């Protein structure tokens, strides 16, 4: 792996060579643009750690588009957040406006979310079957208005395609609105536009899920070998890739499948599903509040099924019945059970098989992927080049390892572009959320320290906790101590609820308000609170994964494969979450704010060494005076 890789094109030459939409290139930004362009020229992958403020989107798109147009390549800009889709589209609009180059752009999200039928309630797999049924039976007017029997576009669709080309790059919601005017299928229109597009903006699944990727490439004539893959917010890719290869079944799903089979009079299937339910309950008989999970061997489960029925025959029967049920009611739990049984036959290497009993009694059997490279390596090896970027890709070597980047790939770490004197970074070793130290006295101590911190911050603060449960235990004491307005983040917020909380938070910036949130919740990443809207972030404790069987298996797997199990499987993922939370605070070069890590473990060498050196964290127990001086009070 090439860690120290630097090439800097002079700024004047850079603006001539690259389709850059702005009049000036910032410091550090020019390095990122040059390094990406040179890695493409050498046909090498590059992993980029680029903190907020560098302008990652334009710094990747401008050199990639310039190179792709010269070489006849297609760019796939992959991101999991809608806000980032919009930033990418707006950047391409600016490039087109300044340079006038003729290149097509398509913004894609999940097919279900582009559909003009009323199908929001369906699971993705059920939606795809429902969509196929409507198309096959000529029952979808949107599809019929868009495609002929030959799959060629209709006259209406062809005319609209020409119109959309003139309108230029547009966000997916704009495309859906335009298609809705003439009752055309937005997804099919996007697919038609993708044939000639130089840039396709999409979710990770469009490239890293092989079924979706193969379908997209077949429809658009694209080839992996002629594609540049840009992975935005790349720190999210390992978890997403693992989830794509994970399968699960629950006692709840089996119960629903039983009701479906009864409802549609598949009585043989009812008997088989009852047997499966009994097997499930027997496997979980020993689980209780003292023992919530256990490993289940592959053949242990298969042999239990084979005692009363043919395993392969059961898989086939449930697939057939599930298809029929979907024909009648759009979705099917019977089909989901069948798909799990098929997935269970997969390999053991890189997977864990775990049965868990939830507090409500629901049993969940997981065939859990441990190795994201099983999903990502093929894309990285076959693409022309893969560019992975994020503000929290430290250490780059870990992401290179676990995602399967070849040894000759480039790693690049850029410094923070914002003035250091606008940022106060403190580690306060006064408390801990360590499990063995959790008690009411420690919760009260955390609440008191948090109150002293936010009292010294002139404006709004966010407190990030490792879990909702711990947050609530601290809040009992914090509520009385803190005189500022307090807002509590609830679990599973809707988009509207999240926006309402942010608006309320912003309205209270003058008096100062405290949002008590959770590291992995709705506000941990992906929100932007520039200027005076947020003056301080406090990360309360390390958001380490629960040391359950999956985490232990992940640590063991990475230890055996890389010799860094504890770091890769436990420590670095928690530090990444902390840095994502910290990144909410300072979003521009004029912002001023305090970033505080509150837990004695942050001062321990094995955790402290994981923090970016350019953040220059100071360990201090004299925090009230430091914060007061920083904010001038």
pLDDT digits (tens, 9 = 90+) for 354-395: 999 999 999 999 999 999 999 999 999 999 999 999 999 999
- Check pLDDT > 80 for residue 592: yes
Predicted confidence at residue 510, as pLDDT, reads 92
Predicted confidence at residue 39, as pLDDT, reads 96
Angle, CA of 47, 49 and 55, to the nearest 5°: 110
* Displacement of CA 89 from its chain's centroid (Å): 19
Q: Which residues contact 168 (CB under 8 A, 6 or more apart)?
A: 93, 96, 105
Token pair 């079924």 is found at 211
Q: Which residues contact 165 (CB under 8 A, 6 or more apart)?
A: 104, 193
**Cα(448)–Cα(296) distance, integer angstroms:** 45
pLDDT tens figures, 478-509: 999 999 999 999 999 998 999 999 999 999 99
Q: Do 580 and 408 meet the contact criterion of CB atoms below 8 Å apart?
A: no
Predicted confidence at residue 12, as pLDDT, reads 63
- Is residue 347 classed exposed, middle or buried when 0-12, 13-18 and 19+ CB atoms within 10 A define those classes? exposed
Rounded mean pLDDT of 256-274? 96
Rounded mean pLDDT of 242-263? 96
Predicted confidence at residue 216, as pLDDT, reads 92
Structure tokens that stand for 426 in this block: 């403190």
Predicted confidence at residue 633, as pLDDT, reads 56
Token pair 């520039």 is found at 530
Rounded mean pLDDT of 611-622? 93
633 or 131, greater pLDDT: 131
- Check pLDDT > 70 for residue 2: no
Phi and psi angles of residue 175, each rounded to the nearest 5 degrees, phi first? -65, -45
Q: What are the helix (H) ranges across 42-184? A: 56-71, 82-99, 111-114, 124-136, 141-146, 155-167, 172-181
Q: Model's pTM, two decimal places?
A: 0.92
pLDDT tens figures, 36-67: 999 999 999 999 999 988 999 999 999 999 99
Looking at every residue in the chain, the average pLDDT score rounds to 93
199 or 288, greater pLDDT: 199
- Check pLDDT > 50 for residue 1: no
Q: Residue 162: which pLDDT band, with cuts at 50, 70 and 90?
A: very high
Angle, CA of 392, 550 and 402, to the nearest 5°: 40
Token pair 């001023």 is found at 592
* % of the chain at pLDDT higher than 90: 83
Q: Residue 11: which pLDDT band, with cuts at 50, 70 and 90?
A: low
**Cα(421)–Cα(301) distance, integer angstroms:** 60
Structure tokens that stand for 24 in this block: 């000036």
For β-strands 351-357 and 293-295, DSSP reports them as: antiparallel
The CA-atom distances, in angstroms, between 256 and each of 251, 273, 298 are: 9, 10, 24
Element (H, E) at 512: none
Token pair 């003035």 is found at 419
Predicted confidence at residue 15, as pLDDT, reads 67
**Cα(164)–Cα(175) distance, integer angstroms:** 8
The CA-atom distances, in angstroms, between 100 and each of 67, 92, 190, 514 are: 16, 11, 22, 47
- Phi/psi class of residue 335: alpha, beta or left (left: φ > 0; alpha: ψ in -120 to 50)? alpha
Strand order through the sheet with 293-295: 247-250, 363-369, 351-357, 293-295
Question: Residue 594: beta bridge partners?
Answer: 424, 536
Total H helices, total E strands in the chain: 28, 18
- Is residue 434 classed exposed, middle or buried when 0-12, 13-18 and 19+ CB atoms within 10 A define those classes? middle
For β-strands 247-250 and 363-369, DSSP reports them as: antiparallel
Token pair 């119960």 is found at 255
**Cα(555)–Cα(565) distance, integer angstroms:** 4
Phi and psi angles of residue 390, each rounded to the nearest 5 degrees, phi first? -170, 165
In this structure, the dihedral spanned by the alpha carbons of residues 318, 320, 321 and 322, taken in order and rounded to 10 degrees, is 80
pLDDT tens figures, 541-589: 999 999 999 999 999 999 999 999 999 999 999 999 999 999 999 888 8
Angle, CA of 322, 127 and 164, to the nearest 5°: 155
Predicted confidence at residue 528, as pLDDT, reads 84
Q: Residue 128: which pLDDT band, with cuts at 50, 70 and 90?
A: confident
């Amino acid at each position: 792996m090439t860690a120290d890789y630097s090439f800097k094109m002079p700024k004047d030459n850079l603006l001539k060579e690259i389709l850059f939409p702005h009049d000036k290139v910032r410091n550090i930004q020019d390095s990122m643009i040059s390094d990406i362009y040179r890695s493409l020229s050498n046909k090498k992958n590059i992993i980029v750690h680029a903190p907020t403020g560098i302008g990652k989107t334009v710094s990747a798109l401008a050199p990639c588009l310039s190179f792709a147009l010269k070489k006849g390549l297609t760019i796939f800009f992959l991101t999991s957040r809608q806000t980032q889709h919009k930033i990418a589209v707006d950047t391409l609009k600016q490039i087109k406006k300044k340079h006038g180059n003729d290149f097509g752009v398509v913004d894609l999200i999940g097919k279900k979310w582009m559909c003009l039928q009323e199908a929001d309630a369906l699971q993705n797999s059920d939606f795809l079957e429902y969509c196929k049924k409507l198309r096959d039976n000529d029952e979808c007017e949107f599809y019929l208005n868009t495609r002929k029997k030959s799959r060629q576009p209709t006259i209406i669709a062809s005319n609209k395609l020409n119109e959309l080309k003139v309108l230029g790059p547009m966000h997916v919601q704009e495309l859906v609105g335009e298609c809705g005017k003439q009752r055309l299928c937005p997804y099919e229109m996007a697919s038609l536009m993708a044939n000639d597009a130089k840039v396709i903006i999409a979710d990770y699944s469009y490239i890293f899920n092989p079924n979706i990727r193969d379908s997209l490439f077949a429809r658009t004539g694209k080839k992996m070998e002629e594609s540049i893959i840009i992975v935005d917010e790349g720190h999210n890719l390992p978890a997403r890739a693992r989830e794509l290869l994970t399968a699960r079944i629950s006692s709840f799903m089996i119960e629903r499948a039983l009701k479906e089979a009864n409802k549609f009079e598949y009585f043989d299937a009812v008997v088989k599903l009852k047997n499966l339910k009994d097997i499930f309950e027997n496997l979980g008989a020993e689980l209780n509040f003292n023992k919530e999970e256990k490993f289940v061997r592959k053949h242990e489960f298969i042999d239990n099924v084979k005692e009363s029925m043919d395993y392969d025959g059961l898989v086939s029967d449930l697939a057939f019945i599930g298809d029929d049920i979907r024909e009648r009611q759009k979705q099917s739990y019977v089909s989901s059970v069948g798909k799990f049984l098929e997935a269970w036959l997969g390999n053991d290497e890189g997977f864990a098989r775990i049965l868990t009993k939830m507090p409500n009694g629901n049993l969940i059997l997981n065939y859990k992927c441990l190795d994201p490279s099983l999903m990502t390596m093929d894309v990285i090896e076959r693409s022309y080049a893969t560019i992975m970027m994020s503000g929290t890709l430290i250490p780059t070597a870990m992401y290179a390892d676990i995602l399967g980047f070849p040894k000759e790939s480039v790693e690049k770490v850029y410094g923070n572009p914002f003035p250091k004197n606008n940022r106060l970074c403190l580690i306060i070793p006064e408390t801990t959320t360590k499990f063995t130290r959790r008690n009411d006295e420690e919760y009260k101590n955390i609440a008191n320290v948090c109150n002293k911190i936010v009292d010294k911050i002139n404006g709004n603060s966010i407190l990030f906790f490792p879990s909702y449960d711990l947050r609530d235990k601290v809040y009992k004491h914090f509520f009385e101590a803190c005189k500022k307005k307090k807002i509590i983040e609830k679990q599973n917020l809707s988009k509207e609820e999240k926006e309402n909380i942010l608006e309320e938070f912003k309205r209270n910036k003058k008096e100062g308000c405290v949002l008590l949130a959770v590291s992995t919740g709705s506000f941990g990443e992906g929100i932007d609170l520039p200027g005076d809207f947020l003056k301080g972030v406090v990360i309360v404790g390390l958001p380490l994964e629960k040391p359950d069987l999956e985490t232990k298996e992940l640590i063991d797997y990475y230890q055996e494969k890389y010799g860094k199990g504890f770091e890769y499987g436990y420590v670095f993922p928690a530090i990444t979450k902390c840095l994502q939370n910290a990144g909410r605070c300072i979003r521009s070069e004029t912002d001023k704010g305090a970033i505080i890590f509150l837990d004695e473990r942050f001062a321990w060498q094995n955790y402290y060494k994981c923090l970016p050196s350019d953040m220059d964290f100071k360990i201090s127990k004299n925090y009230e005076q430091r914060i007061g001086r920083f904010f001038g009070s």
